[in-house]
């Protein structure tokens, strides 16, 4: 457990921001987290001391090459995979469009692609586009609207012998639902389908182990996990070698370079190494690493983070239950969700609620957050979506109380 958050919060300079004489509450982490000072320093150091393109026979280029390798090693420790199974890019959305094109080369008319209503559109739109190009058919797994969980009975019906791809999220970026990934993967693999999992939201809250998850492709975005604006893709090596990515002719056919198109964000990769080191430092300070490796420290750090976030979730759920005109969309159980909450206040437009919170230094999101299929299914899209309140490990119980206080005032009409 993180306990006293002082040593954690002090590493994030953005958290010192004050509005109206009071510290701001960054409850906007589902859209991107703040970064520790070490990440800022690493990126600045790259620009000052190492800035060059790769592959040159001079000092700054050689140093850039080394940073690129260090970034792949850090990502492998974060994900629990081999260095050559990690692909860097712009963001998870871009990765999904690229990998869908590579997979699409092997699709035929009548092949089936399965997506879910729970997903961010980044893991829906690419598959619809490739289906249009290939004649494949997109099928969608529905949700149980009472708690915004996947309907596993519907999953059994939708997956067939014609299924070639199953794309789903490990956790909803809109309502926080954590999906039963191993069970979904097993069902997909029984029919020989490629499994593409969106880990963008869950990666901030729970440790990732690609071997346990079992998906063939997993995407995430470091800027959602205390790092720079980058995208990460894990791909099972055998699959990556078999697929034919779109790339320029001089590019290497070796992994992962065949999938990293153009010049990478080297300063971002330097910052990413620092962000993984930060997570490892949390594990060494607050967790119990199984051994002295960075991977073990990251696992321990994420376990400590999850324990603290469970307290935040419990406090928010308990408090929200006492606000009669506020409605939660999602699972009311902390073990089945992340600390991300979709909320509406009766009689108040979501944008109005978000603005009222923002005026008081509490930063949240409103709208659909690109979870378009989910908002349409819940009947919220036409009503402006919902307010998304997302906590992470640098938030405190006092900040949870502040959010609840303003929501209560809005619901009662006193604000």
DSSP assignment of 215-237: -SEEEE-GGGTTS-S-EEEEE-H
**Confidence check: pLDDT of 1 > 70:** no
The four Cα atoms 66, 263, 280, 296 give a dihedral, to 10 degrees, of -80
- Residue 393: pLDDT over 90: yes
pLDDT bucket at 162, cuts 50 / 70 / 90: very high
Distances (CA, A) of 77 to 74, 169, 196, 204, 232: 5, 21, 20, 15, 13
Per residue in 227-272, pLDDT tens?
Answer: 999 999 999 999 999 999 999 999 999 999 999 999 999 999 999 9
Q: What percent of the chain has pLDDT over 90?
A: 96
**pLDDT for residue 185:** 98
Q: List, in sequence order, the alpha helices (H) in 105-151.
A: 125-134
Confidence of residue 415 (pLDDT cuts 50, 70, 90): confident
The whole-number average pLDDT for the span 111-136 is 98
pLDDT confidence of 333, banded at 50, 70, 90?
confident
Contacts of 68 (CB under 8 A, 6+ apart): 54, 264, 266, 269
Q: Which residues pair with 177 in a beta bridge?
A: 337
3-state secondary structure of 196: strand
Over range 377-381, report the average pLDDT: 98
Which residue bears the tokens 């797994």? 141
Q: Using pLDDT thresholds of 50, 70 and 90, give the confidence band for residue 181.
A: very high
Pair of tokens at residue 170: 């490990």
The string of pLDDT tens digits covering residues 16-37 is: 999 999 999 999 999 999 999 9
CA 298 to chain centre: 16
CA 80/CA 78 separation, integer angstroms: 6
**pLDDT reading at 2 higher than 90:** no
The torsion angles phi and psi of 267, rounded to 5 degrees, stand at: -65, -35
3-class SS of residue 22? strand
Domains plus CATH for the chain? 6-36+299-409 (3.90.1150.10), 41-275 (3.40.640.10)
Rounded Cα–Cα distance for residues 282 and 300 (Å): 8
Please write the tens of the pLDDT for every residue from 199-216: 999 999 999 999 999 999
Checking if the pLDDT of 277 tops 90, the result is yes
Give the DSSP H/E element, type plus range, for residue 243. none
pLDDT in tens, 132-144: 999 999 999 999 9
Q: What is the mean pLDDT of residues 306-322?
A: 97
Q: What are the residues facing 328 on neighbouring strands? A: 343
Q: How far is 214 from 233, CA to CA, in rounded Å?
A: 14
Tokens found for residue 69? 């390798």
What is the structure's pLDDT at 50?
98
Rounded CA-CA distance 146/379 in Å is: 13
Strands 340-345 and 386-390: what pairing?
antiparallel
Q: How confident is the model at residue 6 (pLDDT cuts 50, 70, 90)?
A: confident
pLDDT confidence tier of residue 100, bands split at 50, 70 and 90: very high
Burial grade of 177 (CB within 10 A; 0-12, 13-18, 19 or more) = buried
- In this prediction, residue 290 carries a pLDDT of 83
Is the distance from CB of 332 to CB of 147 less than 8 angstroms?
yes
Residue 414 has a pLDDT of 85
Name 78's Cβ contacts closer than 8 Å, sequence gap at least 6.
Answer: 208, 225, 276, 279, 298
Give the pLDDT mean for 107-121: 98
Average pLDDT of the residues in 283-302: 93
Averaged pLDDT score across all residues of the chain: 97
Average pLDDT (397-405) is 97
Once rounded to an integer, what is the mean pLDDT over residues 151-165?
A: 97
Lowest mean pLDDT among 156-170, 278-292, 358-372: 278-292
Report, as an integer, the average pLDDT of 99-118: 98
Closest CA to 23 of 356, 311, 313, 362: 362
- On whether the CB atoms of residues 356 and 154 are closer than 8 A, the answer is no
Predicted pLDDT of residue 3: 65
Give me the percent of the chain exceeding a pLDDT of 70: 99
């Amino acid at each position: 457990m993180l306990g006293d958050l002082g040593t954690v919060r002090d590493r994030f300079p953005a958290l010192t921001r004050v509005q109206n004489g009071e510290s701001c509450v960054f409850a906007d982490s589902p859209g991107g987290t703040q970064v520790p000072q070490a990440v800022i320093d690493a990126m600045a150091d790259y620009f000052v001391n190492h800035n060059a393109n790769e592959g040159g026979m001079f000092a700054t280029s050689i140093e850039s090459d080394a940073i690129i390798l260090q970034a792949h090693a850090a990502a492998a420790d974060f994900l629990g995979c081999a260095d050559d199974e990690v692909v860097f890019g712009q963001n998870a959305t871009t990765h999904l469009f690229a990998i869908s094109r590579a997979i699409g080369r092997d699709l035929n008319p009548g092949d089936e692609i399965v997506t879910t209503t729970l997903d961010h559109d980044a893991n829906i739109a690419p598959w619809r586009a490739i289906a249009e190009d290939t004649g494949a058919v997109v099928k969608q797994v529905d949700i149980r609207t009472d708690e915004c969980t996947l309907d596993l009975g519907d999953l059994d019906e939708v997956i067939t012998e014609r299924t070639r791809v199953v794309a789903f999220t490990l956790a909803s970026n809109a309502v926080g639902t954590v999906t039963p990934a191993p069970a979904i993967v097993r069902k997909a693999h029984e029919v020989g389908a490629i499994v593409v999992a969106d880990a963008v939201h869950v990666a901030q809250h729970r440790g990732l182990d690609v071997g346990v998850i079992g998906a063939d492709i997993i995407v995430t975005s470091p800027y959602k996990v205390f790092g720079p604006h980058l995208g990460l893709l894990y791909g099972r090596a055998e699959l990556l070698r078999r697929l034919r990515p779109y790339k320029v002719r001089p590019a290497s056919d070796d992994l992962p370079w065949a999938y990293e198109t153009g010049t990478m964000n080297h300063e971002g990769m330097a910052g990413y190494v620092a962000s993984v080191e930060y997570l490892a430092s949390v594990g060494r300070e607050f967790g119990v690493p199984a051994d002295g490796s960075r991977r073990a420290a990251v696992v321990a750090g994420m376990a400590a983070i999850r324990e603290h976030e469970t307290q935040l979730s419990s406090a928010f759920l308990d408090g929200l239950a006492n606000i009669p005109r506020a409605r939660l969309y999602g699972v009311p159980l902390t073990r089945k969700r992340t600390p991300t909450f979709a909320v509406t206040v009766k009689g108040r437009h979501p944008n109005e609620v978000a603005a009222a919170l923002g005026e008081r230094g509490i930063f949240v999101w409103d709208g659909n957050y690109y979870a378009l299929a989910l908002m349409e299914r819940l009947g919220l899209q036409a009503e402006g979506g919902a307010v998304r309140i997302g906590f992470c490990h640098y938030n405190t119980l006092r900040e949870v109380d502040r959010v609840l206080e303003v929501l209560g005032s809005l619901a009662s009409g006193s604000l």
